[in-house]
Amino acid sequence: MTTTALPAGTALTSPLLAVDGLTVRFRLRDAVVHAVTDLSLTLRPGELLAVVGESGCGKSVLAHALLGLLPGNATVTGRARLHAPGRREADLIGAGERHLARHVRGRGVGLVPQSPATALTPVRTGRRLLEETLRAHGHTRRDAPAAAVRIAADVGFDPADLDRYPHEMSGGMAQRLATALALAPDPPVLLADEPTTGLDRPLVDHTLDLLRRRCDTGAAVLLITHDLAAARRVADTVAVMYASRIVEHRPAEALFDDPAHPYTAGLLDALPDRAFVPVPGHPPRLTDLPGGCAFAPRCARATDACGTLPRLAADGTGRVACHHPLREEAPA
């Protein structure tokens, strides 16, 4: 298992969430999908960690593994522990469904799902969904209605639309309702999986600022996003995933100004306000990963050394898994 090095600049408080060596495999009839491999990270109070990477690299599976939401063909190994203030430490991987449902999902770790339209119960209005969630988490029958209106307004959902059913909502409205539902129990850790999908620019910024404010009051957010501009706007730390593994992890400013992994540099070069050149080639199939560095076939810096798997090693400000990193610092 990889040791979790703390990116420099991260506060030295105890983590709310500590993930160590998390690995997820899906069994298919004639293959195994390597969806998440030996993934270690911590999330501290006040930290907004953005997890970025191309489609299919394992970001959503990571979030679902932490909440015990994977289907029956998944095997999950490794450790993930939630240390919420004032509560008993929870083992997210070893805990049974009953414990996760009662004590972890919602109140300990909230999830803004990637496809809210399919996650929302279709036969209840937005108001009913929100009020029921609030009442399940300590609000009284009397104060839940006002709290529902307040939370809806906070996420930019017009309270006048709360009596709509999910199928009467646009994708963006469903997205905001899903965010309101995840925030209603006030969880210390929030996993937000592409929470700005379907929103126009002002609402994207509104949602990102809302997540930032949660962290500023001591909660922690793991933001899964394709949108590097979003990560740059609000993240304290960024973990870049490639083909199921973290390949770089460091404070956002250092990562955006001075990336070490050629893949990170490629993602940044693809931004419209930079070179606007996509990373050449395609990610490998997760059923057929090479033994060495999975990025090597797309990497201009690859050499024979890349035939062996690079270790995710600490460097000056964070961690990188590369035999030929772009930064000056020698691995620590």
Contact residues for ligand ATP, defined by CB under 6 A: 26, 28, 33, 35, 53, 55-61, 71, 73, 114, 226, 286
Residue closer to ligand ATP by CB (options 97, 304) is 97
Q: Are 171 and 197 in contact (CB under 8 A)?
A: yes
CB atoms near residue 161 (< 10 Å): 17
For the bound state, the minimum distance from the C-beta of residue 61 to ligand ATP, rounded and expressed in Å, comes to 3
Residue closer to ligand ATP by CB (options 145, 297) is 297
Widest distance between CA atoms in the chain: 68
CB atoms near residue 281 (< 10 Å): 11
Tokens at residue 306, please? 């890349």
Give the separation between CA 160 and CA 284, rounded to whole angstroms. Answer: 47
For the bound state, the minimum distance from the C-beta of residue 93 to ligand ATP, rounded and expressed in Å, comes to 17
Tokens at residue 119, please? 């996650």
Tokens at residue 208, please? 């990102």
Residue closer to ligand ATP by CB (options 208, 243) is 243
Helices of type H across the chain: 59-66, 97-99, 116-119, 126-136, 144-154, 171-183, 201-216, 228-234, 252-257, 262-269
For the bound state, the minimum distance from the C-beta of residue 23 to ligand ATP, rounded and expressed in Å, comes to 12
Give the separation between CA 318 and CA 323, rounded to whole angstroms. Answer: 15
For the bound state, the minimum distance from the C-beta of residue 260 to ligand ATP, rounded and expressed in Å, comes to 21
Residue closer to ligand ATP by CB (options 29, 88) is 29
Residue closer to ligand ATP by CB (options 113, 262) is 113
Please provide the DSSP assignment of 56-91 as one string: TSSHHHHHHHHTT---TTEEEEEEEEE--TTS--EE
For the bound state, the minimum distance from the C-beta of residue 36 to ligand ATP, rounded and expressed in Å, comes to 7
Residue closer to ligand ATP by CB (options 74, 84) is 74
What letter would DSSP give residue 330? Answer: P
Residue closer to ligand ATP by CB (options 35, 228) is 35
For the bound state, the minimum distance from the C-beta of residue 26 to ligand ATP, rounded and expressed in Å, comes to 3
Give the separation between CA 113 and CA 192, rounded to whole angstroms. Answer: 7
Give the separation between CA 242 and CA 224, rounded to whole angstroms. Answer: 13
Residue closer to ligand ATP by CB (options 4, 114) is 114
Please provide the DSSP assignment of 263-323 as one string: HHHHHHHTSTTTT--PPSS-PPPTTS--SS-TTGGG-TT--GGGGSPPP-EE-SSSEE--S
The Cβ-side half-sphere exposure at 225, using a 13 Å CA radius, reads 24
Residue closer to ligand ATP by CB (options 56, 297) is 56
For the bound state, the minimum distance from the C-beta of residue 52 to ligand ATP, rounded and expressed in Å, comes to 9
For the bound state, the minimum distance from the C-beta of residue 299 to ligand ATP, rounded and expressed in Å, comes to 20
For the bound state, the minimum distance from the C-beta of residue 278 to ligand ATP, rounded and expressed in Å, comes to 16
